[in-house]
Structure formats: structure tokens, C-alpha cells
Structure 1
């Protein structure tokens, strides 16, 4: 039998949660209205809870974007000013390769795409890491799905998907973020 080479793309999601009291303390100490996960770390504030989610599905649009970039056929790369992490409250079945958006209903009460923290994305051999901090007013609903989208620079945080939904993960059941809390989502995408 001939040898077969397989390619894989998987994402490891990490969610750090900071409660309202921690957030208010960091806001006072840093004099920042919307501190990022890096500000919590700099001040020695550990999350009250951290959870992990494994796996994802790279969408057709995501695969098309990857191959276009590999063959110099054009398209926007994943950069700090073009990529966002999205969360939604939909409890729909599994993600599908043809997904072009999160499953959650439209509107900021159901979905939110947050821009990257300052030093993200980060890359190393076969690994892409993205991180976004959802502030006190962002993503306040049950987190049941994730996605990464890619738009044209410069993207802003909003409830609407950009041009390309790169990947999608459903049925994550991460609990409900409420006003006053700060949650940080890290997506480490490994290609092998």
C-alpha cells in the first residue's frame, strides 16, 4: 500500500474568566476602562476559572483562504487588524464545513466578534495563536460556540461576521458571561 500523508488542523480553546470584582480592581489599578488579559496578568490577577475546549472544523471558506495564500492567489492574511474571535449562544447541532457564520441569531445579545489583543496573532512552526479579551459589556450571554473570522483591515468588534468565517466549533457549553465580567478566549490552531 502506498504511504498516505494526512493534514490536520485542530484548535485548542482556552477561556480565562475574571469576575466583576477582579475586573473593577484591575480597572482602578491600571486606569483602563477595558483592560485586556495581559493587564490582569501584569497586575498578578489570576482568573477565577479557566476551561478548555478541544477541536474545531475549518470551514470551506477557511480552507479556500489558506490555499489562496499558499499559492499567492490573494486574500487577506490573519493579522491583528483583520481577525477576530467570535462567540455565540446557539445550541444548534455540529458545525458544518459550509458554515459562513456563527449559528446564533443576529444581534449583540446572541453573538459577538471581538478584535485581537495587541500582540496577537502569534505564530510558530505550524501553530497560530489568537487571543481576544471580551470586556464587561461584550459577549454577555451563554457561550455555546466559537469561530474565528477574517475581514479587511481594520476590523472592529461587532455582532456581524466579516468576509470569511475561518473555523467553527459548536456545542461548547462554557457557561454564561455576565455584565461586569471580563473573559479572554485564546485559540491555538495547530496544522500538521
Structure 2
């Protein structure tokens, strides 16, 4: 998670002319986040595995992950994750943001790439609550409702996002 406070947001808005700058704009203007944290470990949920396997064998009309059909979600729940979960269980507040960029899986020189990166930037008025849980789903619009299936989830206390701040959540899924 990368976080920019209201002062940094105001500076980037003035400098870029953008009303709602994405995380990459802060990077391009070399504005460091006031805090960056990392959480290791999450669970791929049963519904997520089913979606992955359906994509591998071409079953039905399963939509692949792309920037139009993938969202990062955050919630304030603290309930432990189980593989049977279909939502950000225990969250009173939750918000899903369409991914700004979905990485690719492929082989380069050397070992094959086994990592998928998904990033979403939450604007100044989005998800202003305590971030304690996160996940990725296959939705197509920003909102408060999960769209089946929920691919993964984890409990991770990231703090409270306040109005005026912009936070970027990046999910990196690695397979070994």
C-alpha cells in the first residue's frame, strides 16, 4: 500500500492539472508516499481456483482478468479468511476499485514469470475507513458489492484512510 496525504495530493493536482491523479502520476512527478507497507500471504479462495481452472480449460464464458474486469477491494473486517469465503467476510465498510493496471504472466529470459500484479488507486473520497482486509474480484465498476468470484483475500491492518488522501493498493500474486 502506498499512501499520499492531502498536501501531496494538492501539489500533484496543481502540478499535473488532474482532478483525480492515479498512483503512477505521483511516481512520474517523483512524489514519495508518506508511508508504504507490505503484507505477505493471502488465500486463493475456492471460487478463485475454480475461475482459474475454468480459464485454463476454456470452460463456459469465463472472462479473463484485465483492467476492465478486475478490481481490488478493501474492507474493515477482521474475521479470519477461509477458502470458502465469497466476500470480504465481516466487513461493515468495503469498497472495490477497478484496477488501473493488470500485469501479465509470461516467460522471459531465465525462469518463467509466475507473478501477476494488480493495482488500483483509491481517490480522495473513496474507501475512507479502516483498511483491515483486502481481496481481488472480477467486477467491472467501482462500488461496495463484491462481484463473484472473489479470487483471494487476506486480513492485514493497513490503517485508516482519511478524506483527502489517495492510496494505491497493489496486489502481487506469486505462484511457486
TM-score by length of 1: 0.84
Count, aligned residues: 169
Q: Name the residue aligned to 1:139.
A: 127
Q: Name the residue aligned to 2:143.
A: 158
Instruction: Give 1:41 deviation, angstroms.
Output: 0.7
Match of 2:13 among 27, 38, 48: 27
Which stretch has the larger CA shift, 28-37 or 96-105? Answer: 96-105
Instruction: Give 1:123 deviation, angstroms.
Output: 3.2
- SS at 1:163 equivalent: coil
Matched, 1:184 2:172: no
Instruction: Give 1:120 deviation, angstroms.
Output: 2.5
The separation in 1 between residues aligned to 2:48 and 2:30, in whole angstroms, is: 36
The separation in 2 between residues aligned to 1:177 and 1:189, in whole angstroms, is: 24
- SS at 1:123 equivalent: coil
Instruction: Give 1:104 deviation, angstroms.
Output: 4.2
Decide whether aligned partners of structure 1 residues 54 and 105 sit closer, same or farther in structure 2, where only a CA change above 3 A counts.
closer
Q: Name the residue aligned to 1:102.
A: 88
Asked whether the equivalents of residues 85 and 148 of structure 1 are also in contact (C-alpha less than 8 Å), the reply is yes
Asked whether the equivalents of residues 78 and 91 of structure 2 are also in contact (C-alpha less than 8 Å), the reply is no
Write the deviation string for residues 76-125 of structure 1: whole angstroms up to 9, x where unpaired.
11111000000000122x1010111112445xxx11001111x4234342
Q: Name the residue aligned to 1:4.
A: none
Alignment of 1:43-54 (within 5 A): 43-54=29-40
The separation in 2 between residues aligned to 1:150 and 1:167, in whole angstroms, is: 11
The separation in 1 between residues aligned to 2:104 and 2:90, in whole angstroms, is: 28
The separation in 2 between residues aligned to 1:32 and 1:160, in whole angstroms, is: 28
Match of 1:85 among 57, 68, 72: 72
Match of 2:118 among 116, 127, 130: 130
Instruction: Give 1:44 deviation, angstroms.
Output: 1.0
TM-score by length of 2: 0.92
